[in-house]
Chain A
């Protein structure tokens, strides 16, 4: 998560002093959206699309490179790499989106509430998240996973809880800039309830920040799950995930480099696309702010 924070911080301050011309999102942005969409659809519909069973072993075709019957080749147990990548996407997508949803639901609402109320609730929550952020994230997650176990659901929950402090801080900071504006004062004066101000006045304004942060957060969480899987601490074999495919490939780097390359490239392009989409949204958002 610190990686992300820094990337965001560096990105924020690295904006060049020259104004960036921006008309719409450009074809590349939509290309990235399409790529994410294709992976998501393949992952969801995999059983209907006639992919091989990703755990089906076939000892006639061990460690083969790409062929016409196995487009991306087979691994050391003769399993089809393409279908393992498609099914592996499920793990990344579930953990990535699942834990960011947990983080957003808890951290995001606490962040908005704290920024709106201020006072003791805010000081308490801010201090707590500050302490949580000081933990080296991967080490904490590894330790908890080691003792508590690593099913898909547990990993999603652990990583989701781990994202709460960062989400809290981002959403709180973004809400703060609106919480003192005139339209909030007006809403208060009109006697609007807290709930109404939070959901009808503040939320629509903070939403763009939340969405772009959400996407980049998903990318960060997918990297974290990948690292866990790489260390053998995510979903267990034979269930495929991109991380454990890359990890399993390490014994065959000399004989069958495809085994490492295909999942790595898929994952890399997936992460680049997520980051570019998040970045594009943030740039569009900045421009709108500038026009106000």
Chain B
């Protein structure tokens, strides 16, 4: 166990190092003199000095990396020369919105996927099972950017159930309106996860239901419903948790898309905005931050699984 964790931790460090090098090298993909491109119309002596202190561009490459990295480790990701906001303060405003959106979507996804999988697995190849399996296959081919447009069309434009684009209300302002304004994007994200959770859980449930302890439970005369929820669900949910972990990075991608369409000021919206305003340090900072968060979260979830299911650490 300890060896497994140590190995995983060393891998994590390796991945974080690779991410930092990748993010650092982004600036060098810019054509021509990067300082000219980054500063754009804001090329004043003061800004130039700030940028040089941040990136150390007149030093050799490895030295530039160390300069940049020591700034990053101190929480200084540079500043936007367009909005004059520091990258870290932009992150601290935008990130909680993504977090709320993703948590909401996961709650919705589990509330739909678990009962649906339980009902389908009770009678594999029954009507409900066939219908939900087919629907999940179709949903798999429905990318979030199509789903969000269609749902906005149906629920905001046609039925006025949810507010349309640009109607985000901050949580601090009004909790109910905030939840209402995030409901539609959360549902879009949730549908993508429902497909995965449903398929994984259904498959595991069908396997679990073949086990002897289920036959024993049946022979004791326990009700089907009781057996499904109390006996079958728990041993079948380990892959569900694992797939929830794997799902994080596609959730982030999905969140970016829905935020962009509905103008919700989360990380995705900020990222695309910064690209349009050629605000390079902001783009670099957000990309670095998101990559690190995803990787670290995956590591933590991995650790939790190896605690829940020690077989994982043994392989």
Cα(A138)–Cα(B140), bound, Å: 17
Query: How many angstroms from the CA of A250 to the CA of B152 in the assembled complex?
Result: 9
Q: A254 to B149: give the CA distance in the assembly, Å.
A: 11
Tell me what chain B mostly uses at the interface: helix, strand, loop, or mixed.
Answer: helix
Q: Is the CB of A230 within 8 A of B260?
A: yes
Interface-facing stretch out of A68-76, A140-148, A169-177: A140-148
Report the separation of the CA atoms of residues A260 and B287 in the bound assembly, to the nearest whole angstrom: 29
Q: How far is the CB of A175 from chain B (nearest CB, A)?
A: 21
Known: A18-B124, A139-B290, A148-B29. A275 touches B260 (CB 8 A): no
Which of A14, A142, A219 is within 8 Å of B271, CB to CB?
Answer: A142
Complexed CA–CA distance, A121 and B202 (Å) = 39
The answer to whether B290 touches A6 (Cβ under 8 A) is: no
Chain A residues within 8 Å of B207, by CB: 17
12 more A-B contacts (CB under 8 A) besides A264-B146, A268-B142? A6-B200, A6-B250, A10-B199, A135-B19, A135-B291, A136-B290, A137-B253, A147-B29, A231-B260, A246-B149, A250-B165, A253-B149
Q: List 30 A-B contacts (CB under 8 A).
A: A3-B192, A7-B140, A10-B200, A13-B203, A16-B125, A131-B11, A131-B14, A134-B295, A134-B298, A135-B19, A136-B294, A139-B249, A142-B256, A142-B287, A144-B29, A146-B283, A147-B26, A147-B284, A227-B144, A227-B256, A230-B261, A231-B257, A247-B145, A250-B149, A250-B261, A253-B153, A253-B164, A257-B153, A257-B157, A261-B153
User: With the chains together, A235 CA to B136 CA distance in Å?
Assistant: 31
B294 touches A230 (CB 8 A): no
Q: Mark A1-42, 1 if CB is under 8 A from B, else 0.
A: 011011101110111111000000000000000000000000
Of A130, A136, A219, A250, the residue contacting B252 (CB under 8 A) is: A136
**What residue of chain A has the Cβ atom nearest to residue B284's Cβ?**
A143
Mark out the residues of chain A between 117 and 153 whose CB falls within 8 Å of any chain B CB in the assembled complex. Answer: 130-131, 134-140, 142-144, 146-149
What total of chain B residues lie within 8 Å of the partner, measured CB to CB?
A: 67
Q: Which one of B11, B196, B284 contacts A130 once the chains associate, using CB atoms below 8 Å?
A: B11
Q: Please name all residues of chain B whose beta carbon is closer than 8 Å to the beta carbon of A232 when the two chains form the complex.
A: 272, 276
Chain A minimum-CB-distance residue to B276: A232
Interface size on A, residues (CB 8 A): 54
Nearest-CB residue, chain A, relative to B25? A147
What B residues does A3 contact at CB under 8 A?
192, 250
Give CA–CA (A257, B199) in the complex, Å.
32
Of residues A6, A17, A18, which shows the largest number of chain B Cβ atoms within 10 Å of its Cβ? A6
Question: A interface vs B, CB < 8 Å?
Answer: 2-3, 5-7, 9-11, 13-18, 130-131, 134-140, 142-144, 146-149, 219, 223, 226-227, 230-233, 243, 246-247, 249-250, 253-254, 257, 260-261, 264, 267-268, 271-272, 275
Most buried by B among A131, A231, A233, A268: A231
**Bound form: Cα–Cα A254–B158 in Å:** 8
- Provide the residues of chain A in CB contact with B45, threshold 8 Å: none
Residues of A within 8 A of B283 (CB): 143, 146-147
Q: A6 contacts B243, CB within 8 Å?
A: yes
Residues of B within 8 A of A231 (CB): 256-257, 260, 272
| A243 CB, nearest partner CB in chain B, Å | 7
With contacts A3-B250, A139-B290, A143-B26 known, is A131 near B15, CB below 8 A? Answer: yes
Which of chain B's residues has its CB closest to A143's CB? Answer: B287
Measuring CB to CB, which residues of chain B are less than 8 angstroms from any residue of chain A? 11, 14-15, 18-19, 22-23, 26-27, 29-31, 124-125, 137-138, 140-146, 149-150, 152-153, 156-157, 164-165, 192, 195-196, 199-200, 202-204, 206-207, 210, 239, 243, 246-247, 249-250, 252-253, 256-257, 260-261, 271-272, 275-276, 280, 283-284, 287, 290-291, 294-295, 298
Q: A250 to chain B: which residues have CB within 8 Å? A: 149, 152, 165, 261
Q: With the chains together, A134 CA to B27 CA distance in Å?
A: 22
Cβ of B272 and Cβ of A140 under 8 Å apart?
Answer: no
Give, as a whole number of angstroms, the nearest-CB distance from B93 to chain A: 19
Q: Tell which of B165, B239, B275 touches A146, judged by Cβ atoms closer than 8 Å.
A: B275
A226 touching B145 by the CB < 8 A rule?
yes
- CA of A195 to CA of B271 in the docked complex: distance in angstroms? 47
